[in-house]
Structure 1
């Protein structure tokens, strides 16, 4: 017997978007006239992106620290533009999600900082409307997937219960974290695999 699902919680990168991190770095490097290796080190090796995604630094502090590390003026529009260029919507996945019954509540849960909401508004406008404001970046939840506490905080935000929520991610470690928090959770990374999950749970 299929569990009764009230809320569908979706990962972003790897499920709704194909994300090319190297392309983002190249775009930032060109826009700021800074070597790509320096950008990569500031964001990744320097741990700045992870700190932003976890909520350990806010947007103002993040942009200030990145500007200092690169000796360049990095503003929010520049950051957003690079993330948009590096991300491509997965049309087959989005079509399946938008075809679900309107009574099923939908939320997005991504390991990103608050500026990602602007990226999603540009790339996934229809889906963002369908999600009715339940666009949850990890920074606002004080941690990152796969920490089980992050999923529980996300459910508090959307007023849902674990046993009535289905979470989809392309990475099994994140699925495992969701299961530890009591959610139903499955892996999917394209329209076909997502369709199989929907059938399994009686959603399509």
Structure 2
């Protein structure tokens, strides 16, 4: 059931923002004096609680260093934290322009898996985010995709029905999770494929 509203709910990384900066994991691995493979495993294995706001940045990085059997000190933790934030800081300017162009045709919102300290940095660097109708960062709402709670947070926050949403993400598992709670979904492969989908979904006239 829909209320007749049209809300385009967008993922951030891989849709509006770019994926992690090439070479970032190698740089952090070198700082820890471990192999890239070992660092990458520890980095992602420890990540879910940090993304979902159940763990602080310092606690996350301590866990990563311990998993790598490396010394834990405040300077190393802070250097890794800042390098990590920078590695996820790039946006696709063409997509930013497109999302802003949707204003007036639809409500626009964001749902991203991103730790709380990353979210603060992104909000400070990207003022256009404040023009969206709602922003949901996993580290702030304590729920990360594909957990249904992340999608339901947006439904409740916008006082809408799930069917009012078109959710756009570059990961199919997240789109399927959105569809499971009643949202419409689109797997993002590029702006050229997204625009006609949104045009067809929005009412004409």
Matches within 5 A, 1:45-194: 47-69=45-67, 70-72=70-72, 73-75=76-78, 78-102=80-104, 104-121=106-123, 125-131=126-132, 134-194=134-194
Separation in structure 2 between the aligned mates of residue 169 and residue 33 of structure 1, nearest angstrom: 32
Cα–Cα, structure 1 residues 118 and 203, in superposed 2: closer, same or farther, change >3 Å? farther
Residue 199 of structure 1 and its aligned partner are, at CA, apart by: 0.8
The answer on whether the counterparts of 2:102 and 2:108 sit within 8 Å (CA) in structure 1 is no
Q: Which moved more, 1:162-171 or 1:20-29?
A: 20-29
Classify the secondary structure of the residue corresponding to 2:90: strand
Cα–Cα, structure 1 residues 42 and 61, in superposed 2: closer, same or farther, change >3 Å? same
Residue 191 of structure 1 and its aligned partner are, at CA, apart by: 1.7
User: CA offsets per residue over residues 152-191 of structure 1, 9 Å max, x none?
Assistant: 1232234332122221111222111111111122122322
User: What is the TM-score of this pair, normalised by structure 1?
Assistant: 0.79
Cα–Cα, structure 1 residues 195 and 126, in superposed 2: closer, same or farther, change >3 Å? farther
RMSD: 2.9
Residue 119 of structure 1 and its aligned partner are, at CA, apart by: 4.2
Extract unaligned runs of 5+ from structure 2.
none
Whether 1:7 and 2:10 are equivalent positions in the alignment is: no
Classify the secondary structure of the residue corresponding to 2:13: coil
Q: What is the number of residues matched between the two proteins?
A: 197
Residue 14 of structure 1 and its aligned partner are, at CA, apart by: 1.2
Residue 50 of structure 1 and its aligned partner are, at CA, apart by: 1.8
The answer on whether the counterparts of 2:123 and 2:129 sit within 8 Å (CA) in structure 1 is yes
User: CA offsets per residue over residues 117-175 of structure 1, 9 Å max, x none?
Assistant: 1342355x14312125x332223444332232321123223433212222111122211
Separation in structure 1 between the aligned mates of residue 159 and residue 84 of structure 2, nearest angstrom: 33
Cα–Cα, structure 1 residues 91 and 74, in superposed 2: closer, same or farther, change >3 Å? same
Classify the secondary structure of the residue corresponding to 1:88: coil
Cα–Cα, structure 1 residues 203 and 110, in superposed 2: closer, same or farther, change >3 Å? farther
Extract unaligned runs of 5+ from structure 1.
none
User: What is the TM-score of this pair, normalised by structure 2?
Assistant: 0.78
Residue 86 of structure 1 and its aligned partner are, at CA, apart by: 4.7
Classify the secondary structure of the residue corresponding to 1:16: coil
Residue 79 of structure 1 and its aligned partner are, at CA, apart by: 2.1
The answer on whether the counterparts of 1:92 and 1:190 sit within 8 Å (CA) in structure 2 is no
User: CA offsets per residue over residues 103-125 of structure 1, 9 Å max, x none?
Assistant: 743221112221221342355x1
